[in-house]
Structure 1
């Protein structure tokens, strides 16, 4: 499965993506607001999880590459939330990009392609996103995508240590009807 935008190709994972993903995940600025992937093995397991998620559900996180050069830029996509919370079951969108890809609208462009796939191909009724409160850049992308802040659904992430500043997460939602209105000419 391949998705294309004006500047990007979103595609499934290849073995050649493992090294650039691990290099990106070793950058402390990239990982500042994400759960750590401290080893190459942890990075490979994350990719393996995405491959398995694609096989089981028909979607997951795609590799984001520059359409003109084929350069690895990061990952974006959709995946099922696998922990219990008041908002589950749910499908989440997310992204992580190499620092060289920041500030160019790539996260928004790639996530928009993921959302289009989720609503148009998967028929989802809602897609959510969440981030640490200090992660203003991701929250900005969520707002650019038309996602709506839902303070009542903020939560403590059950897979993050209790004393971590990443435990608290702010919630954004994008119902199908809001997406449909935003996609109209």
Structure 2
């Protein structure tokens, strides 16, 4: 478990399934993802994230508010060994419920995840990527100190898909020390 001033990044719990499924059907939250998720797809995603954390001790953690244990989304690290031209790499990612946008929670949780990546896992570099139009995520990447590296077509989306073009950011451990 990772704690910040206001948040707890932790393993997934049974109580997280319903609010995560609701978040995964919100058109605002899912605007830059290929599709909204069904309840079964959301549950399967959580099962996979939970299993990865159990196996390696880190991953995409559920995020809750410390003061009331309210689930607000997920933030964390995901190993990308082969999928991309820039693999192997570790990606930092996030998805917060719309009600919690604009409060600094994404930055707070992602910053804690980067601290974990560099101080605990001793990674040299962490990447993040999003669609070209997802300016909110790009602003967060920049605020975290990440720099733009390249644009690329996502390998799992068809070339004519409206979300196929992505932008890649990265941050190195040495960038965090400055």
TM range (shorter): over 0.9
Provide, for residues 3-61 of structure 1, a one-character-per-residue CA deviation record: whole Å limited to 9, x for no partner: 11111111110111000000000101000012334211100111011012113322111
Hey, what's the Cα distance between the residues in 1 that align with 2:57 and 2:34? 24
Deviates more, 1:136-145 or 1:33-42: 33-42
Provide, for residues 64-92 of structure 1, a one-character-per-residue CA deviation record: whole Å limited to 9, x for no partner: 11111111110000001154322100000
TM alignment of 1:106-117, pairs within 5 A: 106-117=105-116
- Which has the larger helix fraction? 1
Moved over 6 A (4+): none
Give structure 2 stretches of 5+ with no counterpart.
Answer: none
Hey, what's the Cα distance between the residues in 2 that align with 1:130 and 1:157? 10
Number of matched residues?
178
State which of 138, 151, 159 in structure 2 corresponds to 1:162.
Answer: 159
Give structure 1 stretches of 5+ with no counterpart.
Answer: none
Secondary structure of 2:29's partner?
A: helix
If the length of structure 1 is used for normalisation, what is the TM-score? 0.92
TM alignment of 1:83-102, pairs within 5 A: 83-102=82-101
- RMSD, matched Cα: 1.2
Q: Does 1:53 align with 2:52?
A: yes
Q: Following TM superposition, by how much is the alpha carbon of 1:158 offset from its aligned partner in structure 2, in angstroms? A: 1.1
Provide, for residues 148-178 of structure 1, a one-character-per-residue CA deviation record: whole Å limited to 9, x for no partner: 1112xx2111112332221111000001100
Secondary structure of 1:28's partner?
A: coil
Hey, what's the Cα distance between the residues in 2 that align with 1:22 and 1:4? 24
1:143/1:105 Cα in 2 relative to 1: closer, same or farther (>3 Å)? same
If the length of structure 2 is used for normalisation, what is the TM-score? 0.96
- Which has the larger strand fraction? 2
TM alignment of 1:81-160, pairs within 5 A: 81-151=80-150, 154-160=151-157
